Amino acid sequence: MQRSELEHLIRASGEIAGDNEIIVIGSQSILGQFPKAPVRLLISMEADIYPKNKPERADMVDGAIGEGSSFHELHGYYAQGVGEKTAVLPNGWRSRLVVVNNENTNGVTGLCLEVHDLAISKLIAQRLKDIEFVQGLVLYNMIQKETMLSRLEETDLQASFRSRIQSRIDSLFTVRKQR
């Protein structure tokens, strides 16, 4: 996905949901902070979104421009309407959202996760594609270990799970030093 495609999804989602603020929480939220992110991080053709002020309308967005829709078939990318609690995020994440608002969004504001908040949510999800995504963030020096550890502490998790995520962070940054 490219930044212009994310902007298109923000605009369309806002129009469908009747909301002028759209939260982007999936991997493609990277395009908010890094509009020209490395291709390795832009593999996904979907943006996980929900209308900020009308989150109950996420299903409307999913139905209209989601996977398998005529929008998806026409453009090759789509929005996945998700719930507010789809991703586990560090406390304070809302105050760090990255704004995407320009003529391409037609007055609809996209609010994308800050990169460290995104990385924490990906490590918590623990899927292979999410771990590989965070490996890419480390490889391209887009995240800092100290900030990751701080955000991990700000995340409501059981101690044993937090410890496993901390070990994963340590491992990811150790591999980078060895390269």
User: Poorest-confidence range of 51-55, 104-108, 170-174?
Assistant: 170-174
Over range 82-88, report the average pLDDT: 92
* pLDDT tier for residue 178 given thresholds of 50, 70 and 90: low
> Could you tell me the two tokens for 90?
């560090």
CB 53 within 8 A of CB 108: no
DSSP 91-153: TTGGGGPEEE-SGGGTTPEEEEPPHHHHHHHHHHH--HHHHHHHHHHHHTT-S-HHHHHHHHH
**Which band of pLDDT confidence, cut at 50, 70 and 90, is reported for residue 89?**
very high
Question: In the prediction, which pLDDT does 155 show?
Answer: 97
Q: Quick check: helix, strand or coil at residue 91? A: coil
Res. 179 pLDDT band, cuts 50 70 90: low
Sheet strands (E) in the chain: 21-24, 46-51, 78-81, 98-100, 109-112
The amino acid present at 7, given as its one-letter code, is E
The per-residue pLDDT for range 29-69, each reduced to its tens digit, is 999 999 999 999 999 999 999 999 999 999 999 999 999 99
The model's pTM is 0.94
The predicted structure's pLDDT at residue 161: 96
Residue 26, helix vs strand vs coil: coil
C-alpha span between 10 and 108 (Å, rounded): 7
